C-alpha cells in the first residue's frame, strides 16, 4: 500500500468495533466527521470472546488466536479506512501557502486572495468591525463628556465659575485651578455683592442674585 498522507488537524475516533475520523479547521476549529464503518475483524473477535466466555477451554484458546489475527487485520483495515477518510475530507479544506494551516473553505478561506483569512482578512468584515469599534468609542466618549457636564451644572461648580485666564496676569489656565501657575494670584478670590451680600464669582460685572452692578 502507498504511503498515506495525513495532517495534524484530525482526531481518530476508531474503536475495536469500527472506524471513524474527525477533521477540523486550524483556524476556527469546526470540521467534519466521517461516517462510522464497522470492522469485520472486530466483530469476529467479539463473537469469539463471547464463545470463550460461554464455553471456555478450546474456544478460549481460539479466541486468543483470533485476537492476534484480528490485530494485524484490524490495523490493515484501519489504514484503508483512514486513507478513504482523508480523501473524503480533503475537498472541504485548503492549505494556506503562506502559513501552511489547513483551513475550511466555508468560513476561513479568502477565495479572492488565495490565502486563509488570518493572512488575508476579509476587508468588508474588517471595515464593519472597525466602524462598530469606532461607534463604541464615540459612545463612551459622549458618556464621559455628559458626566462632566452634569458635574459642571451642579450649583457649587456653577457658582464658582471657570476662568480661561488669570484675573491678575492674564496667563492661560489649563484647568479649573485656585491659584495661577504663573504669578500665584488667587484665581477664585472670594467676592461679595455690595447690595445683597451674596458671594459672587470673581470677574463678573453683575451680581447673579440681585443683578446689582459690581
- The mean of the pLDDT values for the chain is 78
Q: How many residues does the chain have?
A: 214
CA distances from residue 203 to 137, 161, 169 in whole angstroms, order as listed: 38, 10, 13
**pLDDT confidence of residue 116:** 96
Q: How far is the C-alpha of 149 from the C-alpha of 132, rounded, in Å? A: 26
CB contact at 8 A, 99 and 116: yes
Q: Is the CB of residue 205 less than 8 Å from the CB of residue 194?
A: no
Does residue 57 carry a pLDDT above 80?
no
Please choose, from the candidates 21, 16, 19, the residue with its C-alpha nearest in 3D space to the C-alpha of residue 34.
Answer: 21
pLDDT at 58 over 90: no
Residue 189's pLDDT is 59
Domain boundaries, the chain: 10-123, 154-214
Residue 12's φ and ψ, nearest 5 degrees, are -90, 110
Minimum mean pLDDT range among 73-77, 135-139, 149-153: 149-153
Per-residue DSSP letter, 90: G
Residue 41, Cβ neighbours under 10 Å: how many? Answer: 20
Partners of 200 in the β-ladder: 191
- How far is the C-alpha of 54 from the C-alpha of 13, rounded, in Å? 30
Q: 101 Cβ partners below 8 Å, 6+ apart?
A: 26, 27, 95, 116, 118
Contact 212, 193 (CB under 8 A): yes
Amino acid at each position: 500500500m502507498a504511503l498515506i498522507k495525513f495532517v495534524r488537524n484530525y482526531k481518530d475516533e476508531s474503536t475495536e468495533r469500527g472506524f471513524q475520523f474527525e477533521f477540523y479547521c486550524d483556524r476556527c476549529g469546526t470540521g467534519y466527521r466521517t461516517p462510522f464503518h464497522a470492522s469485520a475483524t472486530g466483530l469476529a473477535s467479539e463473537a469469539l470472546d463471547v464463545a470463550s466466555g460461554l464455553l471456555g477451554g478450546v474456544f478460549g484458546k481460539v479466541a486468543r488466536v483470533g485476537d492476534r489475527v484480528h490485530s494485524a487485520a484490524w490495523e490493515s483495515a484501519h489504514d484503508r479506512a483512514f486513507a478513504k477518510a482523508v480523501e473524503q475530507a480533503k475537498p472541504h479544506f485548503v492549505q494556506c501557502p503562506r502559513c501552511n494551516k489547513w483551513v475550511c473553505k466555508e468560513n476561513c478561506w479568502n477565495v479572492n486572495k488565495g490565502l486563509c483569512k488570518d493572512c488575508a482578512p476579509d476587508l468588508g468584515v474588517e471595515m464593519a468591525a472597525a466602524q462598530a469599534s469606532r461607534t463604541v468609542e464615540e459612545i463612551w466618549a459622549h458618556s464621559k463628556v455628559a458626566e462632566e457636564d452634569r458635574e459642571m451644572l451642579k450649583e457649587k461648580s456653577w457658582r464658582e465659575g471657570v476662568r480661561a485666564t488669570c484675573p491678575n496676569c492674564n496667563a492661560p489656565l489649563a484647568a479649573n485651578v485656585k491659584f495661577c501657575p504663573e504669578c500665584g494670584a488667587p484665581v477664585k478670590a472670594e467676592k461679595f455683592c455690595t447690595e445683597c451680600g451674596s458671594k459672587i464669582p470673581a470677574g463678573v460685572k453683575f451680581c447673579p442674585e440681585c443683578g446689582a452692578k459690581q
